[in-house]
Structure formats: structure tokens, C-alpha cells
């Protein structure tokens, strides 16, 4: 019980720590439909514990505010009506201070629940889901805050943080033999339902890069006309480039001094040996085509993941986000967590420098739409078999 309580408290404190450099006005902004205001993240991750644990298992609990379920429900149809995602930036109320009060209220109730109740295995699992869910929102806080401040004309600094590690020199190719491999989570720790169902996949022999693609490598793609040559792009990707006048990764700016990019620490020169980031799947695919390589499938990535260091960037794969064989959704509203999104998205593997410590694992299946790039995404290549 002490371990579970420590996980809960550490997780909850980290969200407030991430937001501590913000000004009050920063908490409300929603510059794009896919970005949520920071205060909404703080409220939503709190509502999750209230909705799925306290109101279900604590007989004495009284909800903090009857309207908060409508305000902070995200996409759970089974949990009632909700504010449309694109309207979250219109919520000048509740105030930041009221949301902080809400968090403290729920935290107190959760600690009392943890300390006074005989926690069942199901309840323990739901609390772990809540903590991992909030860790996902902690990464979203970093990326949404970066988008909010990075699209402010003044491009203000969030904090003196560095999420742009260097790539090792002399990247090599790591061979994996042809054969049958087990795919999926096989252990006793926490994992999501989309990782379950260990199954076998046959893989042809392949070689995967030991390192991510660097900024310098990607600049060569730009300078050699990568964004102007339709041959490298999917049809949908080429249309996306043309319609949105895409010429470089998100946050990049070309200047007389070379390429610069907005970071959480402000506007900086693009480091040649840093891993390229804020790349869409369309761009990752085009770069692979330009290089005469390809992106790994998610199965190839998982099998090879023990051979290289990962965790600097979420890595695009060539795999569509679909259910594993014998996939079974969670019961109730939590069944909406992953299953209903298994169409029209691409799988990313690994983790990023913005991912909460201990949150990811080799079997973790992240997923985003092909055009989305405000996350810390990157590229790892596989050699094509001739």
C-alpha cells in the first residue's frame, strides 16, 4: 500500500512541478484544436481519479463540483456529456486557483481511501491506470506548453530545460535474424490493454540503425529538395506539405546564421548532432525514401529494442495502430481508453525526453495521426532488403 501511495503522491506532485514556471495567463491558452490548456490537463487528470475511483468505491465521497464532470471529461462517452475539445480554451472559469483546490480536495480523499480501505486488485489496477494516465498528460503538458509559448510572437522561455540530447557518432547497423518472435507485454508489471495478448510474428532478417537520425542528416534532406520532390512522399503526405506550406520540422526557422528552433529554453541554434524532432509520420516516411531506407514495423522495433538505446524521441514506425490478435478491451468506460482509436493512426515506439520516468517499456504502443508532430517524435531507419 505504501508503494501505491508513493506512486500516487509522486505522480500528482510532478504535474504541479511541470506547471510551476507558468504565468496564470499561460494556463488558459488553446492555440490549436489538438492542444489543451494546461489548467485543463490539471483538472482532467484529477477528474479521472474522482470519476473512476472515488465515486465508485468511496461511499462517503462527495464530488467537488457537479459541473466538473462536464468540463473535464475528455472522450469517455460512458462517463457522460463533455465540453467539445476545441472549446477547452474558452473555459476562463473555473479559475486556476479553483482547479488547484480541486486537486487538493481529491488528493486528500484519495489518501484517505488508500489508507483506510482494503484495496482490491481491481481498485489497485485502476489507481495505477490513473497514475499512468496522468503521466501521459505530463508529457502532453510539456508539448502543449511548448506549442503555446512557441507560437507566442515573443517566443518566451518556459524554463532552463534541455530536451535535445546528442547522438553518438558512427551509427552502425544492427542485424536481426529471420524467425518467429513473441510480440506484446509478458510480465507482471503495469501495462495497457493494447499491449496484451502475446503472439508470434514472423520477421524477415533486417538491419536497424543503432542511432536516430540527426538534425544534420535532416538538413541535408531539406537542402537537397526533400520538401519539393513528390517522389519521396505518400499522396496524402504530399498534399499535406502543399496545403500547409511545410518546409522544415515544427519550430524550425531559417536565418542568416543558419537553422534555429524554438525550445522550452527559448530560441536556440539547431545542434547538428541532436536528434531531429517534431517530425510527422509523413516526413519520417519521406526522409526514409530519400535515404533509400524504410521505417521499421512496430514488431521489428520491439524485437530489436534491446540492441540500442532508446528513449530520446518517440520513434515513428511503418505500422498502423490496430488491435493485436485476441485483443480484449477493458470493461466499462475504460474500454474507451485505447480500443476505439485503433483506426487511421500510426504506432510510435519508445519514449522521449519529455516522458515521465518509468512510464514506457519496449511493448508500449503510442499512437498519433500521420500529420501530427507537436510531440517529441523522431526517426530510426531500417535497411531495405534488395
Residues 207 and 88 in one domain: no
Whats the size of the chain, residue-wise? 386
- State yes or no: pLDDT of 1 exceeds 70: no
Least confident range of 6-15, 166-175, 198-207, 315-324: 166-175
On whether both 63 and 209 belong to a single domain, the answer is no
Query: Is residue 168 a part of any domain in this protein?
Result: no
**Cell numbers for 194:** 493494447
Residue 300 covered by a domain: yes
State whether 217 and 321 are in the same domain: yes
Bridge pairing between strands 293-294 and 366-368: unpaired
Q: Please give the DSSP secondary-structure letter assigned to residue 347.
A: E
Please, which residues have CB within 8 angstroms of residue 13's CB and are 6 or more apart in sequence?
none
Q: Which of these, 317, 321, 313, 245, lies nearest to 281 by C-alpha position?
A: 317
Residue 346 lies in a domain: yes
The answer to whether residues 127 and 178 belong to one domain is no
Residue 375 pLDDT: 98
Residues 293, 251 within the same domain: yes
Q: Is the pLDDT of residue 37 over 70?
A: yes
Hey, is 383 helix, strand or coil?
Answer: strand
* 289-341 tens-digit pLDDT: 999 999 999 999 999 999 999 999 999 999 999 999 989 888 777 777 888 89
Residues 214 and 345 in one domain: yes
Strand 377-378, strand 314-320: pairing: parallel
Q: How confident is the model at residue 199 (pLDDT cuts 50, 70, 90)?
A: very high
Q: Is there a domain that residue 166 lies in?
A: no
Residue 112 falls within a domain, yes or no? yes
Is 164 a domain residue?
no
DSSP 339: G
pLDDT at residue 215, as a whole number: 97
| Alpha-carbon dihedral sign for residues 120, 14, 73, 323 | negative
Say yes or no to pLDDT of 117 above 80. Answer: no
Q: Do 211 and 344 belong together in one domain?
A: yes
**Residue whose C-alpha cell is 551509427:** 171
What does the pLDDT look like over 79-94, one tens digit per residue?
Answer: 788 888 888 999 999 9
Residue 139 binned pLDDT confidence (cut-offs 50, 70, 90): very high
SS3 state of residue 341: helix
Q: Do 378 and 235 belong to one domain? A: yes
User: Which of residues 150, 182, 208 is at a domain's end?
Assistant: 150
CATH of the domain at 115: 1.20.120
Does 245 have pLDDT greater than 80? yes
- Separation of alpha carbons 212 and 314, rounded Å: 10
pLDDT value of position 386 = 61
Averaged pLDDT for residues 132-143: 98
Q: Establish if 165 belongs to a structural domain.
A: no
Local structure of residue 141 (DSSP, 8 states): H
Half-sphere exposure of 302 (CA within 13 A, CB side): 28
Question: What is the model's pLDDT at position 81?
Answer: 87
pLDDT tens digit sequence for 156-189? 999 988 777 778 777 899 999 999 999 999 999 9
Same domain, 352 and 264: yes
Return the CATH number at 353.
3.90.1580.10
Q: Is the pLDDT of residue 214 over 70?
A: yes
- Pick 329 or 216 by higher pLDDT: 216
State the first-to-last Cα distance of the chain, in angstroms, to the nearest integer. Answer: 55
Average pLDDT score over the chain? 94
Q: Are residues 303 and 263 in the same domain?
A: yes
Distance CA 39, CA 93 (A): 10
**Tens digits of per-residue pLDDT, 59-73?**
999 999 999 999 999
**Domain match, 218 and 358 both:** yes
The tens digit of pLDDT for each residue in 262-290 reads: 999 999 999 999 999 999 999 999 999 99
Number of domains in the chain: 2
* 3-state SS assignment for residue 358: coil
Whether residues 74 and 25 share a domain: the answer is yes
pTM: predicted TM-score of the whole model, two decimal places: 0.95
Single out the residue in 116, 150, 184 at which a domain terminates. Answer: 150
Domain that holds residue 191: 173-383
C-alpha distance from residue 93 to each of 98, 148, 167 (Å): 9, 19, 44
Which pLDDT score, from 0 to 100, does residue 334 have? Answer: 78
**Contact partners, residue 172, CB within 8 Å, separation at least 6:** 209, 210
Is 265 part of a structural domain of the chain? yes
pLDDT of residue 194: 95
Residue 383: what pLDDT? 93
Amino acid at each position: 500500500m505504501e508503494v501505491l501511495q508513493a506512486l500516487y503522491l509522486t505522480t500528482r506532485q510532478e504535474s504541479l512541478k511541470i506547471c510551476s514556471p507558468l504565468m496564470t495567463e499561460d494556463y488558459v491558452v488553446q492555440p490549436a484544436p489538438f492542444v489543451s490548456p494546461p489548467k485543463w490537463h490539471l483538472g482532467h487528470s484529477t477528474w479521472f481519479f474522482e470519476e473512476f475511483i472515488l465515486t465508485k468505491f468511496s461511499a462517503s465521497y462527495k464530488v467537488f463540483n457537479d459541473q466538473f464532470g462536464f468540463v473535464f471529461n475528455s472522450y469517455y462517452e460512458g462517463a457522460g456529456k463533455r465540453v467539445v475539445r476545441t472549446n477547452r480554451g474558452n473555459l476562463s472559469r473555473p479559475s486556476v486557483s479553483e482547479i488547484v483546490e480541486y486537486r487538493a480536495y481529491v488528493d486528500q480523499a484519495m489518501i484517505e481511501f488508500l489508507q483506510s480501505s482494503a484495496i482490491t486488485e481491481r481498485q489497485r489496477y485502476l489507481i495505477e491506470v490513473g497514475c499512468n494516465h496522468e503521466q501521459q498528460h505530463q508529457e502532453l503538458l510539456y508539448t502543449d506548453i511548448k506549442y503555446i509559448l512557441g507560437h507566442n510572437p515573443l517566443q518566451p522561455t518556459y524554463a532552463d530545460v534541455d530536451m535535445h540530447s546528442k547522438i553518438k557518432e558512427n551509427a552502425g547497423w544492427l542485424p536481426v535474424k529471420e524467425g518467429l518472435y513473441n510480440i506484446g507485454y509478458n510480465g507482471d508489471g503495469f501495462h495497457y490493454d493494447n499491449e496484451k495478448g502475446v503472439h508470434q510474428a514472423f520477421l524477415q532478417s533486417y538491419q536497424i540503425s543503432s542511432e536516430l537520425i540527426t538534425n544534420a542528416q535532416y538538413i541535408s534532406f531539406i537542402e537537397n529538395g526533400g520538401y519539393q520532390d513528390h517522389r519521396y512522399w505518400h499522396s496524402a503526405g504530399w498534399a499535406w506539405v502543399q496545403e500547409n506550406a511545410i518546409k522544415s520540422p515544427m519550430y524550425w526557422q531559417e536565418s542568416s546564421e543558419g537553422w534555429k528552433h524554438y525550445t522550452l529554453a527559448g530560441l536556440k541554434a539547431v545542434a547538428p548532432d541532436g536528434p531531429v524532432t517534431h517530425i510527422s509520420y509523413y516526413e519520417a516516411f519521406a526522409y526514409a525514401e530519400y535515404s533509400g531506407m524504410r521505417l521499421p514495423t512496430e514488431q521489428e522495433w520491439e524485437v530489436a529494442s534491446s540492441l540500442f538505446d532508446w528513449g530520446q524521441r518517440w520513434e515513428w514506425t511503418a505500422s498502423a495502430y490496430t488491435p493485436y490478435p485476441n485483443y480484449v478491451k477493458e470493461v466499462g468506460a475504460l474500454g474507451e481508453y485505447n480500443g476505439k482509436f485503433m483506426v487511421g493512426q500510426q504506432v510510435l515506439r519508445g519514449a522521449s525526453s519529455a516522458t515521465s520516468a518509468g512510464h514506457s517499456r519496449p511493448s508500449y504502443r503510442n499512437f498519433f495521426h500521420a500529420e501530427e508532430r507537436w510531440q517529441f517524435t523522431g526517426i530510426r531507419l531500417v535497411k531495405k532488403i534488395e
